[in-house]
Structure 1
Amino acid sequence: MRSKISIYISLILSILLLYSSFTYFMASAKPEEIVLKVITRHGADILLAARKNFLKSDLAKKYNIRDVRFLPVGEPLWVDTIRSAGDIDVAWGGGPVLFDRLYVEGLLAPLKGEMIEKVMAKIPNEIMGSPMKRINKSDVYWVAAAISSFGFTINKDYLRHYGLPEPDEWIDLANETYAATLPQPSVGCADATKSTSNTRMYQIILQRYGWERGWIVITLMAANSRIYDQSGLVRDAVIRGDIGVGITIDFYGYTAQLESEACKYIVPSDGSIVNGDPIALLKTSKHPEAAKAFIAWVLSAEGQKIWLNPKINRLPSNAEVFDTPEGKEREDLRQAYLRTLNASVIEFSDELAMSYQYSMQWFFHATLVRPQEKLQRAWMELVNSKEKLTPERFRELVDILADPLKFKFTDPRTGEEVCFSQEYAQSINEEIFNNVDFRNDMVRIWKEAAEKRYEAVLQALSE
């Protein structure tokens, strides 16, 4: 009897062992469910639409992608975040200068493979002289997922109420005309350290007007402005009628036009650029084939449909989306796309913009954001005193207020007095980016020097 029981037990154990081995094998053979990680500068509206639509796609099913986890990170932290995380798959949104920084830092992988190359062929290499791909020796390291222009969004009701003209050029926003409502600003812009799109607009002004005159325009525009922490807040202020003009990326303007008949988007006649907003594969990706599938979907006509959402309103990089049923319903966006392709553009160098980007951003923050109250007070007093001054004296005081070559401070590295020339900005750009202590020192030094120059203008006007 015991012998039979032993046989039964052995048989049961053998069956259990066989079943366990089978289930283990089946579990091991089951494809891994992938969660992609995407570092991004895009807003929640875009990210939610992208996740929802991509996860329903055949590509997501083919590559067994269960979810896409988005990591919204401020531009200055991208390089450190990518390196410290070590497993982020895709970078998406933030502008070409940011992606060129990732390229220079060796963080981008070339986009290779039949699937991704087939869809990238539908994206032009450049539009109106601006790159839509970063190419090195035939390898593509980033590609534009959308395109943008830059200009102003205006509130016609506000301008009419205060008797202000509609701006036509960037330089108009630096005019004393828009100081008429101060201390209640009529113009809005964003802190360069908080907004890549506003940074791009300041770079456009610097390259359109040159370093010296460009900074005068930027400084007086800031004096006329309320400076916001986010570019989206500029758009919202225009829609509400808090301000009459806000410098914005184009799709903020298109959204404002849909939300309020009082709003209108204007591409400045003194020039803008067509910007490609990139997407790229990161070298840290643990799932490069799945990551390339996501990128291919974003670039496809199907993925480009997210830009057509009336609450998003971005211009696609792949114009084939306008041939889809959804695209044919957005004739207004197609017309905006065509106008952008024919807009007045300036000759713009990404390399030049990148050579002083971080110095420019933190100089803006230190001299225009932190001491803005003193800047506005000095500008108000100067404008109010204009009739009492000769034209030469007025221009002289504007230069004291705003000319970067008359902005004197002590270089902490050498102890010598210097000015904020383009060459100086380029010489410290990398250290500003890499050395937080140095950056903090420069912000403090620049802020103190800016306060002194604004006080000097007030003192001159009181004499």
Structure 2
Amino acid sequence: LAEGFVDFVLSPYGQSLWLDDTILRLPIMREAFDEPGAIGMEGMYSVFNQTIRSTPYAINVTQSLVTDASFTNYFESVLTDSHSELTLCWSKMVDLYYAGNITKTEIDAYAALMADPMIITDPKTSLAEKYTLDYATRINTDMIYDASYRSTVQSRWTVAAKVQYLNVKNDMDILFPLLGLDTETTILMESIPAFLALFFGTSGFVVMASSGSKFD
């Protein structure tokens, strides 16, 4: 029974099921695109061919082992724990792009600002440390065995990420302040100052952001 299931999964028809509208994953067999379920999936076939032509890359297993813990926690801080701020900034960027306000080059530049590695004060050395391969390697052991250190570092990465994303969004808001606002909101924003105070993070980190129209 198990062998029969494996044979089915690795058959052209079985692989074509990945192309179902509710799944939309790439099959591993080209023959899957000959099946009836692949009709209308020219775009997926194009992507499939791109993966075949892609050049494989080697993974440095040793380097991965000595940075895994720090990278995993960094990833969680700047993507998962900062998700609301990240999506807020990214949505603004995409809206500007599709509205024709910024170019592909400009959206890439904003994305690069968002992705710039975070800088925090290391809780053990009190030195400003940018997330680099060297720093990731140096702190990896502490990120595994020192729970207090790990929690503090991760919290500071999260704070830094939230501030960075909001700063990039604020830059776009200054250039295009009224994009996406309805008429009532626009009138409100023009008639009274807007004030926003955001408190992020722990370990003594407090970030405040404010904006408002100035009186003449």
- TM-score over 0.5 (shorter chain): yes
Q: Does 1:443 align with 2:154?
A: yes
Q: How far apart, in 2, do the equivalents of 1:453 and 1:383 lie?
A: 17
Question: Which structure dedicates a bigger proportion of its chain to helix?
Answer: 2
Deviation at 1:364, TM superposition (A): 0.7
- Give the alignment partner of residue 136 of structure 2, picking from 425, 442, 447: 425
- Give the alignment partner of residue 369 of structure 1, picking from 74, 80, 84: 80
The residue matched to 2:120 in structure 1 has which SS? strand
The residue matched to 1:347 in structure 2 has which SS? coil
The residue matched to 1:418 in structure 2 has which SS? strand
Deviation at 1:399, TM superposition (A): 1.6
CA RMSD of aligned residues (A): 3.4
Per-residue CA deviations over 1:242-271 (Å, capped at 9, x if unaligned) read xx559xxx9xx79xx8xxx57989594576
Q: How far apart, in 2, do the equivalents of 1:431 and 1:269 lie?
A: 40
- Give the alignment partner of residue 396 of structure 1, picking from 109, 118, 124: 109
Per-residue CA deviations over 1:190-210 (Å, capped at 9, x if unaligned) read xxxxxxxxxxxxxxxxxxxxx
Deviation at 1:390, TM superposition (A): 5.2
Q: How far apart, in 2, do the equivalents of 1:437 and 1:270 lie?
A: 46
Q: Does 1:350 align with 2:61?
A: yes
TM-score, normalised to structure 2's length? Answer: 0.56
Find the counterpart in structure 2 of residue 227 from structure 1.
none
Residues 234-273 of structure 1: matches in 2 within 5 Å? 240-241=22-23, 244=24, 261=37, 268-269=51-52
Find the counterpart in structure 1 of residue 94 from structure 2.
383
Name which structure has the greater RCO, CA cutoff 8 Å, separation 6+: 1
Give the 3 Å change call, closer, same or farther, for CA 425–374 of structure 1 in structure 2.
same
Deviation at 1:392, TM superposition (A): 5.2
Higher Cα Rg: structure 1 or 2? 1
Residues 57-456 of structure 1: matches in 2 within 5 Å? 156=19, 158=21, 240-241=22-23, 244=24, 261=37, 268-269=51-52, 344-386=55-97, 387-389=100-102, 393-404=106-117, 407-456=118-167
Question: Which structure dedicates a bigger proportion of its chain to strand?
Answer: 1
Number of residue pairs matched?
145
Q: How far apart, in 2, do the equivalents of 1:433 and 1:352 lie?
A: 16
Deviation at 1:445, TM superposition (A): 0.8
The residue matched to 1:415 in structure 2 has which SS? coil
* Structure 2 stretches lacking a partner, 5+ long: 3-15, 175-216
Q: How far apart, in 2, do the equivalents of 1:444 and 1:415 lie?
A: 15
Q: How far apart, in 2, do the equivalents of 1:392 and 1:345 lie?
A: 27
The residue matched to 1:459 in structure 2 has which SS? helix
